[in-house]
A and B are shown apart, each in its own frame.
Chain A
Amino acid sequence: MDLDPKWVPMKWPCGPLEWARRSKSKNVGADLKETLDAWAQPAALDLLKGTPVNCLVVEWAEGTPEDSAQQQALKPLLEAGRRRGLNFVGKVAAGEGTAAAVASAQQAGLSAVMLAERSGQSFGMPVILQFARDKVAWKSTTRIFSSTDNEWPGLKLDTMKGDTAIAGPTGVPWVNSNAWFSLLSDELAPGKTRWLDFDPPEAANARHPTNYPLAVADSQAYGSRWIISLDDNFRAALLKGNPQATSAWSKTCETLAFFETHREWVGFPSQGILAVVSDFLGDNAFLSGEVLNLLNRRKVQFRVMERSRALSAPTPGLKAILWLDKDAPSAGQLAKLLAFVRQGGLLIATAYWGPAGVAPKNRDPAVDYKMYNVGQGQIAVSVEGFLDPYQVAVDAHLLVSRRNDLVRLYNPDTTNCHLSLDPVHKRRLVQIVNYSPSAVSFVTLWVNNRARSAQLWSPGTKDSLSIPGVPAAPGTEFGLPTIAVNCALEVEGLNQ
């Protein structure tokens, strides 16, 4: 068996290894031991009946004396799981005993192992490599790969309302999201399946059930999978049949099922007006990553372009290119960049690479850039260089102008969206994610094309709902029903 992109992974913490690890790291009580033991029992798998979850990630070997006890304890679970058609991925810590641990996993019938780093060894079974998010070896990623150090998605700060600190909003709320990393991964590891590894905050419990569907939606709306990870209290409550926990689990599975039903959306290419170009490596990694994060937060529709591949393919609809790195483009790339500018495009960079003899002009006090008119387009050169990712994102957004927005969202600013294009039916897909812990009402989506209606898909509903479009020159607005966590709209027609 090979790695299967259709696997829907879930962490299944149980057994002696888990207990030993937890015992070392924090104060634990009898309740946790009870939960870990219970989750090692085949009966716990009943929780997965009727859900899309089909792959369990278990601790397999850490190079400690508990390894064999763990593997022994998991046997009944593995056998019962296989009878139910479940796949198992065993996490194996790097070390001298890796080869033996992988061999034992293969012998025990695991579908794959998850390794923290590539040892160069060849194993007789599928391997999922896992990397820290800022250390992904993009060229070495496996067909399914995983990243750690991701954010738990959601609101970080409350917003205010009105024109004062007391009565009104003074800024947009900060949202934690892994969306930018998913979009980056799409470019740097195309065609690969990403499993985002992140655990719920320690404060999470059955009283905050919305967080789990949001973790699914923030990952999957941008083409990644979250390795489902439930907190200990929640898992204990589930096994005891707590109605609140059961309901929350049901909602989580509803969201999972929603994305499985629309699995084809993963292959839809992202739409954007701004290309963000970098190698996204080494010294450039922090700035470029943060710029992607902040542009996404500002709802700028962008495309990620790896520097060496930039402009190697046609880029229809692109209005601007943000060249983040100090490294100049190659001669071939420069020719393409200048052709793009001459045809009316905007190049934003830290140095002027255009034809000699063009005098710069300052455009606006709000942006500290020198503007060079070249052909029908412009080259914007940052006066101070790209120092602050926030400022780079703000400036890029202003320079490319909201006039070129493809979509906008109204009410409230705790939502974000991902725009992609169905290449077959030429329909736009707008996936909307609500990062607030509460459902949001009166959300309005504006798209820059004319459309009579859009089909709205929501978790928990089998059929789509037709939403009439309201002309809002030069585009169309759609008033959406209440959004709990996420939804998606298929909009007919492209930009006129």
Chain B
Amino acid sequence: MINTPCSRRKFLGAIGATAGVWLARPAFSLAPPAPAGRVAVGMCPEYGPQVVTAMSTLFDQLGGLEKLVRGKTVAIKLNLTGDPFTRLGYAPVGITHWVHPDVVGATVHLLAKAGAYRIRLLESAQGTAEPLEEYMLQANWEPRDFLSAGSRVEFENTNFLGFGKKYSRFMVPGGGLMFQGYDLNHSYEDCDVFVSVAKLKEHLTAGVTLTMKNCFGITPCTIYGDGSPEDEPGLVPKGGRGPFHAGNRMPSKSAPPQVDRSGSTEGGYRVPRVVADLVAARPVHLGIIDGIHTMTGGEGPWAPHCSHVKPGLLIAGTNCVSTDAVGMALMGFDPMADRGTPPFETSDSTLRLAENLGVGTRDLRQIEVVGTPISKGLFKFRSA
């Protein structure tokens, strides 16, 4: 399989000065502070038409979307973890562990309104190469709603080669924590702006699922899956991302190799490093977190002790580390926490690792929070 080096200059125009600072910094530099983006927080008690209004306010508070997306191709990674037919109780997946279709629709609508030339909705549909629209239909979603929310809306299942002719290679600045680089579906390169739309959730392995952990799913299982071929990418994805978790096997040899020499087979060590690598290699320009309805106890209904909750929150930010830090604070966690402290009882902090890679700061003192103050939006996940 042929791989293409990623042209990182492509992202500069869209990411602005923040990215410029980030790109100029060495990967493991601890001296200068990591960049901080503004993070907007809003209350939205329920899904429905009010989501558009609430999100519009958030984007205005961030300074508006227009300068970020006008005339650009925008790729949106959705958090559609698990499969479409496994629910927490009777609740549709968009209520508990998938981003809600109203949030997706509002995002598309507002991006289109801000002048985005093309909008691509992306997710690596679990264990299948079927079109993303079919995956959504299985969850009782209506993909046509998204098509009508903007003029050039496309879908792509990024769990395999998809519509591309080759995989795109993203090298991790500084050499990577777990892998030197990652081979991804072309959609993550063929865009000017990359948006991560996540759910406000905990995660069994990585502590939290926010805009950064959402990017774990940009990796194709044709290369990184349990059933990927040894040498070359498979034609269709087989299995989940067990090798990232357990290190029990390496990706297909066509992809950049593992650099971590710890020999660790612990998910709590490996997964946060893979995630930090990914957001360093494939920068997130806009992070959105759906916390209107969600679940506690883990990232999906398979978590042993989970329940449906209604924090009524929407969060958006231009730096994924800072956005996740605010998200964690709103969940009742300390974003400066690390292994041994909730929610990182059994894992390293992805936020700290990404911060060390220079992606952004998790220090709330350096983050400008606009809109609803954290103290007012606080929803303590562990006591919910």
Answer yes or no: B37 CB below 8 A from chain A CBs: no
The answer on a CB contact under 8 Å between A365 and B161 is yes
A164 to B89, CA, bound (A): 21
The answer on a CB contact under 8 Å between B300 and A162 is yes
A394 to B237, CA, bound (A): 14
Question: Which of B137-145, B168-176, B192-200 contacts the other chain?
Answer: B137-145
In the assembled complex, the CB of B140 is this many whole angstroms from the nearest CB of chain A, namely 6
The answer on a CB contact under 8 Å between A162 and B137 is no
Which residues 399-439 of A have a CB within 8 angstroms of B? 401-403, 405, 408-413
The answer on a CB contact under 8 Å between A167 and B245 is yes
Chain B 79-102: CB-based contact to A (< 8 A → 1; otherwise 0):
001110111011010000000000
The answer on a CB contact under 8 Å between B127 and A170 is yes
The answer on a CB contact under 8 Å between A408 and B85 is yes
Which residues 473-496 of A have a CB within 8 angstroms of B? 473-475, 477, 479
A168 to B127, CA, bound (A): 11
The answer on a CB contact under 8 Å between A473 and B142 is yes
Residue of A nearest to B85 (CB): A410
In the assembled complex, the CB of A232 is this many whole angstroms from the nearest CB of chain B, namely 39
The answer on a CB contact under 8 Å between A442 and B131 is no
Q: Contacts A402-B137, A408-B85, A413-B85 hold; do A163 and B90 have CB atoms under 8 A apart?
A: no
The answer on a CB contact under 8 Å between A410 and B86 is yes
The answer on a CB contact under 8 Å between B85 and A409 is yes
In the assembled complex, the CB of B196 is this many whole angstroms from the nearest CB of chain A, namely 16
Q: Contacts A162-B82, A167-B245, A170-B226 hold; do A402 and B299 have CB atoms under 8 A apart?
A: no
Q: Contacts A401-B137, A479-B90 hold; do A171 and B246 have CB atoms under 8 A apart?
A: no
Chain A positions within 8 Å of B204 at CB level: 162, 167
Chain B positions within 8 Å of A108 at CB level: none
Chain B positions within 8 Å of A164 at CB level: 205, 240-242, 244-245, 267
In the assembled complex, the CB of B66 is this many whole angstroms from the nearest CB of chain A, namely 32
Answer yes or no: B311 CB below 8 A from chain A CBs: no
A328 to B269, CA, bound (A): 59
The answer on a CB contact under 8 Å between A365 and B82 is no
The answer on a CB contact under 8 Å between A169 and B131 is no
The answer on a CB contact under 8 Å between B162 and A166 is no
Chain A positions within 8 Å of B242 at CB level: 164-166, 170
Q: Contacts A161-B302, A162-B302, A163-B126 hold; do A411 and B131 have CB atoms under 8 A apart?
A: no
In the assembled complex, the CB of B105 is this many whole angstroms from the nearest CB of chain A, namely 13
Q: Contacts A171-B127, A402-B137 hold; do A411 and B82 have CB atoms under 8 A apart?
A: no
In the assembled complex, the CB of B238 is this many whole angstroms from the nearest CB of chain A, namely 8
Interface size on A, residues (CB 8 A): 36
The answer on a CB contact under 8 Å between B162 and A163 is no
Which residues 224-267 of B have a CB within 8 angstroms of A? 226, 238-242, 244-246, 267
The majority secondary structure among interface residues of chain A is: loop
A410 to B129, CA, bound (A): 21
Answer yes or no: B60 CB below 8 A from chain A CBs: no
Chain B positions within 8 Å of A167 at CB level: 204-205, 240, 245, 302
Answer yes or no: A364 CB below 8 A from chain B CBs: yes
Which residues 334-352 of A have a CB within 8 angstroms of B? none
A409 to B139, CA, bound (A): 10
A163 to B90, CA, bound (A): 20
The answer on a CB contact under 8 Å between A472 and B240 is no
Answer yes or no: A398 CB below 8 A from chain B CBs: yes
The answer on a CB contact under 8 Å between A170 and B239 is yes
The answer on a CB contact under 8 Å between B131 and A366 is yes
A477 to B139, CA, bound (A): 12
In the assembled complex, the CB of B296 is this many whole angstroms from the nearest CB of chain A, namely 16
Answer yes or no: B157 CB below 8 A from chain A CBs: yes
Chain B positions within 8 Å of A259 at CB level: none
The answer on a CB contact under 8 Å between A163 and B131 is no
In the assembled complex, the CB of A119 is this many whole angstroms from the nearest CB of chain B, namely 50
Chain A positions within 8 Å of B129 at CB level: 365-366
Q: Contacts A164-B244, A411-B87, A442-B90 hold; do A402 and B138 have CB atoms under 8 A apart?
A: yes
The answer on a CB contact under 8 Å between B134 and A401 is yes
Which residues 16-33 of B have a CB within 8 angstroms of A? none
Answer yes or no: A444 CB below 8 A from chain B CBs: yes
Residue of B nearest to A164 (CB): B240
Q: Which one of A162, A402, A442 contacts B87 once the chains associate, using CB atoms below 8 Å?
A: A442
Q: Which one of B90, B162, B241, B302 contacts A365 once the chains associate, using CB atoms below 8 Å?
A: B162
Chain A 138-166: CB-based contact to B (< 8 A → 1; otherwise 0):
00000000000000000000001111111
Chain B 152-169: CB-based contact to A (< 8 A → 1; otherwise 0):
000001000111000000
Q: Contacts A164-B240, A165-B240, A408-B140 hold; do A398 and B81 have CB atoms under 8 A apart?
A: no
Interface size on B, residues (CB 8 A): 40
Chain B 250-289: CB-based contact to A (< 8 A → 1; otherwise 0):
0000000000000000010000000000000000000000
Q: Contacts A165-B240, A402-B134 hold; do A472 and B86 have CB atoms under 8 A apart?
A: no
Answer yes or no: A446 CB below 8 A from chain B CBs: yes
Chain A positions within 8 Å of B162 at CB level: 365
Q: Contacts A163-B241, A164-B240, A366-B131 hold; do A169 and B137 have CB atoms under 8 A apart?
A: no
In the assembled complex, the CB of A72 is this many whole angstroms from the nearest CB of chain B, namely 57
In the assembled complex, the CB of B215 is this many whole angstroms from the nearest CB of chain A, namely 13
A479 to B138, CA, bound (A): 17
The answer on a CB contact under 8 Å between B83 and A169 is yes
Chain B positions within 8 Å of A473 at CB level: 142
The answer on a CB contact under 8 Å between A169 and B87 is no
Which residues 373-417 of A have a CB within 8 angstroms of B? 394, 398, 401-403, 405, 408-413
Answer yes or no: B345 CB below 8 A from chain A CBs: no
Which residues 150-209 of A have a CB within 8 angstroms of B? 160-171
In the assembled complex, the CB of B168 is this many whole angstroms from the nearest CB of chain A, namely 16
Q: Which one of A170, A398, A409, A412 contacts B240 once the chains associate, using CB atoms below 8 Å?
A: A170
Q: Which one of A170, A413, A475 contacts B86 once the chains associate, using CB atoms below 8 Å?
A: A413
In the assembled complex, the CB of B132 is this many whole angstroms from the nearest CB of chain A, namely 10
The answer on a CB contact under 8 Å between B126 and A170 is yes
A446 to B85, CA, bound (A): 11
Chain A positions within 8 Å of B161 at CB level: 365
The answer on a CB contact under 8 Å between A163 and B226 is no
A474 to B141, CA, bound (A): 10
Chain B positions within 8 Å of A409 at CB level: 85
Answer yes or no: B343 CB below 8 A from chain A CBs: no
Q: Which one of B85, B131, B226 contacts A398 once the chains associate, using CB atoms below 8 Å?
A: B131
Answer yes or no: B217 CB below 8 A from chain A CBs: yes
In the assembled complex, the CB of B258 is this many whole angstroms from the nearest CB of chain A, namely 17
In the assembled complex, the CB of B330 is this many whole angstroms from the nearest CB of chain A, namely 24
Answer yes or no: B190 CB below 8 A from chain A CBs: no
Answer yes or no: B130 CB below 8 A from chain A CBs: yes
A163 to B301, CA, bound (A): 11
In the assembled complex, the CB of B117 is this many whole angstroms from the nearest CB of chain A, namely 23
Q: Contacts A165-B226, A479-B90 hold; do A365 and B245 have CB atoms under 8 A apart?
A: no
Q: Contacts A366-B131, A398-B131 hold; do A163 and B240 have CB atoms under 8 A apart?
A: yes
A410 to B90, CA, bound (A): 8
Chain A positions within 8 Å of B90 at CB level: 411, 442, 444, 477, 479
A394 to B216, CA, bound (A): 27
The answer on a CB contact under 8 Å between A166 and B85 is no
A-B contact pairs, 6 of them (CB 8 A): A160-B240, A162-B204, A165-B226, A166-B246, A169-B240, A410-B85
14 extra interface residue pairs, beta carbon distance < 8 Å, beyond A168-B300, A169-B83, A169-B302: A162-B299, A162-B302, A164-B267, A165-B226, A168-B81, A169-B126, A170-B238, A365-B163, A398-B134, A402-B137, A403-B137, A411-B85, A413-B85, A444-B90
- Chain A positions within 8 Å of B, measured between CB atoms, are 160-171, 364-366, 394, 398, 401-403, 405, 408-413, 442, 444, 446, 472-475, 477, 479
Which 8 pairs, one residue from A and one from B, show the smallest C-beta to C-beta distance? A165-B242, A161-B302, A402-B137, A479-B90, A164-B240, A170-B239, A170-B240, A162-B302
